[in-house]
């Protein structure tokens, strides 16, 4: 059990049968009246965000979220298949659970599969990936005076905005959280 007075960012708690992760918290001590804790909570199962206020003495069970490293094998249309590298056990996760998390992930890369009480609710891709550009328009010298960008398709099929100097065949580094181009990788 964890009391509301001990809340910290990233802690997962179970409130009224729903598992929440604390995004923000603030201890408030008004001049008049009792202190309280104002929080912003993210529902880890369906990603909704709510704001709630608690008394510092309220207690909630801490939820245990399991994050397991698994290797992404392949996608057969509706199901993404992952393998546990230790036991070689394979699981299939539906498109509805995976969402857009896999748009920058190639086959055989490691991801974190998140579950609560044995039920998988999300997949976390690696923070940074290196992908080859399969299609982009050529950039011409003198197109712009400042850092303009152009769309480029990477080997997974996702589209990323890249600087004009990046060409087809280049390998680039991408932040999977934002989908932004970070740098060109020297081959």
Q: How many CB atoms lie within 10 A of CB 15?
A: 18
pLDDT at 145: 54
Cα angle: 81, vertex 109, 125; to 5 degrees: 85
- Max CA distance (Å), the chain: 66
Helical H runs in 105-149?
none
pLDDT at 139 over 60: yes
pLDDT at 51: 92
Residues of the chain above pLDDT 90, percent = 9
129: tokens are 């990936």
pLDDT at 114 over 70: yes
pLDDT at 156 over 80: yes
Can you tell me the distance from the alpha carbon of 126 to that of 102, in angstroms, rounded to the nearest whole number?
10
Closest of 165, 85, 101, 94 to residue 133, by C-alpha: 165
Of the pLDDT bands very low, low, confident and very high (cuts 50, 70, 90), residue 168 is confident
Domains and CATH numbers, the chain: 2-60 (2.30.30.30), 65-124 (2.40.50.140), 128-185 (2.40.50.140)
Q: What three-state secondary structure class fits 143?
A: coil
Region 16-41 average pLDDT: 88
Cβ distance 105 to 72 under 8 Å? Answer: yes
Q: pLDDT tens digits, residue range 171-181?
A: 999 988 888 88
Question: From residue 18, how far is each of 66, 71, 122, 131 by CA, in Å?
Answer: 16, 29, 15, 37
Of the pLDDT bands very low, low, confident and very high (cuts 50, 70, 90), residue 164 is confident
| Strand runs labelled E in 32-146 | 36-43, 49-54, 59-60, 65-75, 79-83, 90-94, 110-116, 119-124, 128-136
pLDDT at 140: 64
Q: pLDDT tens digits, residue range 58-107?
A: 999 988 888 889 999 988 888 889 999 999 899 888 887 787 888 888 88
pLDDT at 142 over 70: no
């Amino acid at each position: 059990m964890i009391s509301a007075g001990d809340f910290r960012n990233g802690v997962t708690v179970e409130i009224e049968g729903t598992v929440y992760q604390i995004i923000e918290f603030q201890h408030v001590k008004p001049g008049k009246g009792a202190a309280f804790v104002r929080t912003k909570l993210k529902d880890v199962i369906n990603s909704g965000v709510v704001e709630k206020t608690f008394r510092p003495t309220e207690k909630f069970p801490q939820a245990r979220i399991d994050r397991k490293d698994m290797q992404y094998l392949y996608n057969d249309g509706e199901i993404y298949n992952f393998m546990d590298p230790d036991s070689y056990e394979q699981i299939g996760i539906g498109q509805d659970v995976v969402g857009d998390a896999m748009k920058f992930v190639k086959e055989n890369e490691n991801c974190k599969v998140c579950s609560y009480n044995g039920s998988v609710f999300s997949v976390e891709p690696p923070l940074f990936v290196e992908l080859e550009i399969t299609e982009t328009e050529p950039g011409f010298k003198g197109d712009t005076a400042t850092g303009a960008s152009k769309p480029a398709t990477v080997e997974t099929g996702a589209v990323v905005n890249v600087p004009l100097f990046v060409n087809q065949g280049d390998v680039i580094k991408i932040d999977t959280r934002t989908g932004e181009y970070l740098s060109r990788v020297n081959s």
